[in-house]
């Protein structure tokens, strides 16, 4: 599904990704771990097409199509979803309004008709219920006054409504308590664990991987993947730390 080959990228002329290669097949969950400053968020931004993140070499294809040639909204229409560590607040716009706009923009980009109000509400209710979000919360402004856990749950409701092919989730587990971690982890499994879907989970901690079991775990260091393995690699990392693997925190 996703083929990243020898990807190089820089920010403000500073090389951050230095020959990163990764293959993700449909039906798979991949975890990416790595010390602070390794380039994990940069990888997510580059795949999303964020301005200021300049690709200087390599290729990325999504189901054979050149992802790097697409505008950000075209990437979303092609089935890419990005979840971020710090979801934005949008005062004055309710979650329901925002999600309906997002769902219909995606449908328009795919040449599909807009959802009726009733059809959209049915979909929103079902997805909110799956993330233990009340419809009262869904009617509140996007993320305003939400706890960290509520923001992440709202983001997973959005993911469920958009039903992406590939989700890249950057530290979705940060700031979650035990209960929210389980709700979010189970939500990722329910929405994305399908033969034609795939997930890249960027995380610092093994604990999310108890809820969303990865098929492969990769360690990113200094802008490239330096080790890959199964779930046991995340356990080894938690036990021994990056230093034991000969990897330093780039910001320390």
Residues that bind Mg ion (CB under 5 A): 36, 40-41
Minimum CB distance to Mg ion, residue 144 (Å): 24
Residue 37 or 229: the one with the smaller Cβ distance to ligand ADP is: 37
Minimum CB distance to ligand ADP, residue 220 (Å): 7
- Residues in the interface with ligand ADP (CB under 6 A) total 13
Is 218 an interacting residue with respect to ligand ADP (CB under 6 A)? Answer: no
33-72 footprint of ligand ADP as x/- string (CB under 6 A): -x-xxxxxxx------------------------------
Minimum CB distance to ligand ADP, residue 152 (Å): 17
Stretch that binds ligand ADP, among 22-30, 32-40, 134-142, 143-151 (CB under 6 A): 32-40
Stretch that binds ligand ADP, among 9-17, 71-79, 129-137, 139-147 (CB under 6 A): 9-17
Evaluate whether 188 touches 212 at the Cβ level (below 8 Å).
yes
What HEC string does the chain produce?
Answer: CEEEEEEEEEECCEEEEEEEEEEECCCCEEEEECCCCCCHHHHHHHHHCCCCEEEEEEEEEECCEEHHHCCHHHHHHCCEEEECCCCCCEEEEEHHHHHHHHHHHHHHHCCCCCCCHHHHHHHHHHHHHHCCCCHHHHCCEECCCCCHHHHHHHHHHHHHHHCCCEEEEECCCCCCCHHHHHHHHHHHHHHHCCCCCEEEEECCCHHHHHCCCCCEEEEEECCEEEEEECHHHHHHHHHHHHHHCCCCCCCC
Minimum CB distance to ligand ADP, residue 143 (Å): 21
Residue 38 or 208: the one with the smaller Cβ distance to ligand ADP is: 38
Question: Exactly one of 2, 7, 16, 159 binds ligand ADP (CB under 6 A); which one?
Answer: 16
List residues near ligand ADP by CB under 6 A.
11-12, 14, 16, 34, 36-42, 250
């Amino acid at each position: 599904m996703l083929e990243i080959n020898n990807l190089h990228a820089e920010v403000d002329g500073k090389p951050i990704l230095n020959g990163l290669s990764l293959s993700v097949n449909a039906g798979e969950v991949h975890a990416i771990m790595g010390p602070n400053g390794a380039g994990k968020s940069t990888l997510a931004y580059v795949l999303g097409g964020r301005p200021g993140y300049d690709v200087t070499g390599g290729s990325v294809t999504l189901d054979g199509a050149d992802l790097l040639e697409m505008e950000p909204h075209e990437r979303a229409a092609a089935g890419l979803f990005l979840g971020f560590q710090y979801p934005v607040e949008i005062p004055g716009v309710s979650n329901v309004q925002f999600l309906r706009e997002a769902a219909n923009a995606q449908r328009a980009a795919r040449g599909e008709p807009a959802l009726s109000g009733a059809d959209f509400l049915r979909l929103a209710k079902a997805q909110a219920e799956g993330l233990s979000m009340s419809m009262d919360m869904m009617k509140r402004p996007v993320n305003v006054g939400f706890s960290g856990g509520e923001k992440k749950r709202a983001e997973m409701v959005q993911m469920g409504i958009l039903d992406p092919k590939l989700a890249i989730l950057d530290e979705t587990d940060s700031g979650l308590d035990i209960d929210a971690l389980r709700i979010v982890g189970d939500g990722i499994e329910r929405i994305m664990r399908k033969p034609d879907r795939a997930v890249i989970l960027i995380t610092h901690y093994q604990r999310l991987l108890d809820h969303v079991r990865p098929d492969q775990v990769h360690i990113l260091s200094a802008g490239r993947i330096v080790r890959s393995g199964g779930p046991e690699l995340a356990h080894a990392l938690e036990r021994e730390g990056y230093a034991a693997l000969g990897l330093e925190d780039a910001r320390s």
